Chains A and B, each alone.
Chain A
Amino acid sequence: MSDEESELQSFLATLKSQFTVNNFKIQGNLLSLTTDSTTYVELATYLKEHDFARCLTVSATDWLDTNEFEIYYLVHHLKNNVYVKVAVSIPRNKPEITSLSTIWKSAAMHEREMWELFGITFVGNMMLKPLFLEDWTNLPPLRKDFNWRDYVAQEYYKTEEE
């Protein structure tokens, strides 16, 4: 076992004693786990206080089968070179979660992107405005139920044929 892995093992033990976390898995220097939406923010604060200073991304996956969005953030500890990924599932019909932008400043822009591409509201994020798309009126494009082939045929091929 590498140093980083044993580091993560002991870190995971501390986390387990303080928070409700499930599905933990250590792969190399990455610890991934899932939690619920209140612990999601508490855990973020804890991680920030423990030198996970870099938030690399906030991202989402659309699971149509279970009707949920899985949101996760990936943070990095520069000195120990370990990554932690914290995931949480929220219902698709009420896609709302507390923003992490007060904890990591750089999270705000990633959340803005997820707001635009998945339609997830991050409560407390002051930046939720269109980022990449101009005048977009359809479903958020990265959702699995956005019928993209129809959209492309209609918006581009048909209008350009005329």
Chain B
Amino acid sequence: MSQLLKAIKTILGIAVSKPMTFSFPPDMPLTELHRGRQLYKPDLCKGCKICSMVCPNNAILMVEREKSEENKTGLQPQIDFRKCCFCGLCVDNCPTGALSFTNFPILLTMKPETLNYTPEMLAIPPTLEHPEAPKIKNTVSWARSRSIWIINYMTGCCFIEAVPWVASSFDMERFGLIAVGSPRHADAMIVGGYVTPKTLKRIIRIYSLMPQPKWVISLGNCPMTGGTYWDSYNTIKDISKYIPVDIWIAGCPPRPEPIGVAVVHAIQAIQGGYIGKEEKTNTDAGKMKLPTYSILEADSGQAQMDFVFGSQHSASGNFNMSLTLDGETVVDATPNPGYLHRGFEKLMEYRTWLQNIMLVPRICVLDGASYELAYSGVSEKLAGIEVPLRGQYLRVIQAELSRIQSHQMNLGFGGAATGFDTNERIIWGDRDQVLLLLEELTGARIYHIFNTIGGVRRDIQPDFPTKTNQLISYLRKRLQIYDDLFFHNKTFIDRTQGLGVLTQETAIANDVTGPNLRATDVDFDIRTATPYEAYKDIGVKVVTASKGDAYHRFLCRRQEIEESLNIIERALDQLPSGPVCTTKTPEDKKITWRLKIPQGEAFHCIEAGRGELCFHAISTGENTPYRVKVRGPTFGTILVMFPKLLHGVKIADVPVVYWSLDQCPADHDR
């Protein structure tokens, strides 16, 4: 009886609550503080060229204009939005305020050249234009346009902003969009960000398997021009040289709204009879030879078979695993990473200490804030810079918000892996609320670039504490719902308890870190063991669990969300006043984007969402690092421990074990 009452109460609760789904087309402006397309004021520019020098992506070209009293060099900036990642270095460093940000996020086109904005275009404030709806040609094209199935392949980090469209927050099913696992059923492919040669081969293969008509949407700058990785030795620079692309969306990553606008454009074009570009693949350019695939002969006498898990698999991330199966049981597993290897450690040697802050969060898109924090920490250690207390508190708030959304992401994947798609949608919808708050704090949803050497880039808005407290009490209520969805749910318990059990000893010997280690009852968290930033004052209660199985790993993360909420609450309560950033080094030099850091080396470890993240940096006294080593938290867990954990596991449980370890292929591939 009480069960029934509870169910009725839940349904009534849902009926009267505000819907979680955002309206579409989006209400503009979205968030006041979002770093969107720049605005240029010609009267103020003095042609000093600083903006073009400081840009880490070579997005700014100086073009000629009339010389004048104010502008003696006769130069002004032209911004190429195929390359700009909205890091804000140009705006921060412009001495006259001629460049500023608007909060306009929508930049998409069918012709990428049009994204190169001349100074005249930059001077006009942006507006949103929807295409005129064409007359519906016939029933077939109408039906086609409302049932676009998208192949599920998480190629690069832009994919993170396609995720809200799966969740309840943006809900792509209202447009008739569905994600599918098989290329044979797919109508459209989303190239979600940077493409390494290894990934490219799989993309070409998937593309050629899709039936006609087929469409390709390219997300982000990386597939267009190489974007942030314009000089990486392991990413391609222009995807359209290999497969035709219909719509390009610029941004790094683009917000979810432009993706929605692109879909609406596509629907209208398809209704007007557009059937995509002519099918074409190019496998000759460069070293993009396709690998040969052998197809196994069906042999009934065969006891064991080889099985490829990933990289295109709805539960694998962009990561591949060769499994040997005996019946349904895994007897051997070999990891094959590298689909996301961009050579970060090389790239960082050629950018200045400050420019690197804009690069590092891109190592792991799921928890970028931790990478900013660890990298600024190591540079400050080397340079001997003290961060003002208020700055340290704001860093803690940012890091904990990021930990919450990362754990929510993981619980969502846990739901999907155990067959509870609804759980995934609900929890990712909540995650969007956290991202919006992060945007209020930092100016961006995913890559915040909030830290800088010496502190954080800006102070909070007056209404930030109120908004945060609202979110905290909302999430506390939602945690009870997560308990019902996961931890009191009989099916979930049966699927995850006793699965993928890690003992304390093996976890330690195999370099397992973070919540995975703490789920084996090891009471170790760097936030309390070696406190950094303001964690010592704020205090952290370390969360542990005892059984070391998949269930307890998920549970550990759920408890950590709760503890992070407490930390944020305390941090806001105690938030000291004062500056958020220092501008001088101990030698009394100004901190600029070309800051030289004295010779030496330093280690800095922090507790990221996934575990211990260490940076080791060596300086030879230049304005660029000589060497940076990133020790990501998932390297040992996924590449060393995970394959061993799979022995004896049923094939259907492989994704469950995988997500219970909270993987991030981008982190161990770097």
A interface residues, Cβ below 8 angstroms from B: 27-30, 53-57, 59, 61-62, 74, 78, 81, 83, 85, 104-106, 108-110, 117, 130-135, 141-142, 148-149, 151-152, 155-157, 159-160, 162
Determine if B639 is an interface residue (Cβ-Cβ < 8 Å). Answer: yes
Contacts of A105 in B (CB 8 A): 509-510, 640
Q: Are A61 and B618 in contact (CB under 8 A)?
A: yes
Q: Are A54 and B508 in contact (CB under 8 A)?
A: yes
Contacts of A109 in B (CB 8 A): 635-636, 639-640
Q: Are A159 and B629 in contact (CB under 8 A)?
A: no
Knowing A28-B530, A132-B337, say if A160 contacts B236 (CB, 8 Å): yes
Contacts of A55 in B (CB 8 A): 511
Per the bound structure, the CA–CA distance linking A49 and B618 in Å amounts to: 30
Determine if B522 is an interface residue (Cβ-Cβ < 8 Å). Answer: yes
Per the bound structure, the CA–CA distance linking A106 and B401 in Å amounts to: 31
Contacts of A53 in B (CB 8 A): 508-509
Among A27, A62, A156, chain B packs the most CB atoms within 10 A around the CB of: A156
Interface segment, B281-289, B422-430, B453-461? B281-289
For A53, the closest partner residue in chain B by CB is B508
Among A57, A74, A135, A151, chain B packs the most CB atoms within 10 A around the CB of: A57
The secondary structure that dominates the A interface is: mixed
B interface residues, Cβ below 8 angstroms from A: 197-198, 226, 231-234, 236-238, 241, 285-287, 289, 291, 337-338, 341, 343, 345-346, 508-511, 522, 524, 529-530, 602-603, 612, 614, 616, 618, 626-627, 629, 631, 635-636, 639-640, 669
Q: Are A106 and B510 in contact (CB under 8 A)?
A: yes
The 8 closest A-B pairs by CB, nearest first: A132-B338, A106-B511, A132-B341, A159-B286, A57-B631, A160-B241, A59-B629, A61-B627
25 of the cross-chain contacts (CB-CB < 8 Å) are A27-B603, A30-B603, A53-B508, A53-B509, A55-B511, A56-B612, A59-B629, A59-B631, A61-B618, A74-B631, A78-B524, A81-B529, A81-B530, A104-B509, A109-B635, A109-B640, A110-B635, A132-B234, A133-B338, A134-B198, A134-B291, A141-B233, A148-B346, A155-B287, A156-B226
Min CB–CB distance A51 → chain B (angstroms): 10
- Knowing that A106-B509, A134-B198 touch, tell me 17 more A-B residue pairs with CB under 8 angstroms: A27-B603, A28-B530, A54-B509, A56-B614, A74-B614, A78-B508, A105-B510, A106-B510, A109-B636, A109-B640, A133-B338, A135-B287, A159-B285, A160-B236, A160-B237, A160-B238, A160-B241
Residue from A74, A142, A149 in contact with B231 in the complex, judged by beta carbons closer than 8 Å: A149
Per the bound structure, the CA–CA distance linking A130 and B338 in Å amounts to: 9
Q: Are B338 and A142 in contact (CB under 8 A)?
A: no
Contacts of A57 in B (CB 8 A): 614, 616, 629, 631
Q: Are A142 and B341 in contact (CB under 8 A)?
A: no
Min CB–CB distance B222 → chain A (angstroms): 12
Knowing A29-B530, A106-B636, A133-B338, say if A162 contacts B285 (CB, 8 Å): yes
Knowing A29-B530, A132-B669, say if A152 contacts B233 (CB, 8 Å): yes
Contacts of A149 in B (CB 8 A): 231
Min CB–CB distance A135 → chain B (angstroms): 6
Contacts of A106 in B (CB 8 A): 509-511, 636, 640
Contacts of A160 in B (CB 8 A): 236-238, 241, 285-286
Among B232, B511, B626, B640, chain A packs the most CB atoms within 10 A around the CB of: B511
Per the bound structure, the CA–CA distance linking A96 and B626 in Å amounts to: 23
Contacts of B636 in A (CB 8 A): 106, 109
For A138, the closest partner residue in chain B by CB is B233
Per the bound structure, the CA–CA distance linking A134 and B292 in Å amounts to: 13
Per the bound structure, the CA–CA distance linking A149 and B226 in Å amounts to: 14
Q: Are A141 and B346 in contact (CB under 8 A)?
A: yes
Per the bound structure, the CA–CA distance linking A151 and B346 in Å amounts to: 13
Per the bound structure, the CA–CA distance linking A160 and B530 in Å amounts to: 49
Q: Are B236 and A131 in contact (CB under 8 A)?
A: no
Among B233, B286, B289, B510, chain A packs the most CB atoms within 10 A around the CB of: B233
Per the bound structure, the CA–CA distance linking A136 and B234 in Å amounts to: 10
Contacts of A83 in B (CB 8 A): 603
Per the bound structure, the CA–CA distance linking A140 and B511 in Å amounts to: 26
Per the bound structure, the CA–CA distance linking A29 and B639 in Å amounts to: 28
Min CB–CB distance B529 → chain A (angstroms): 5
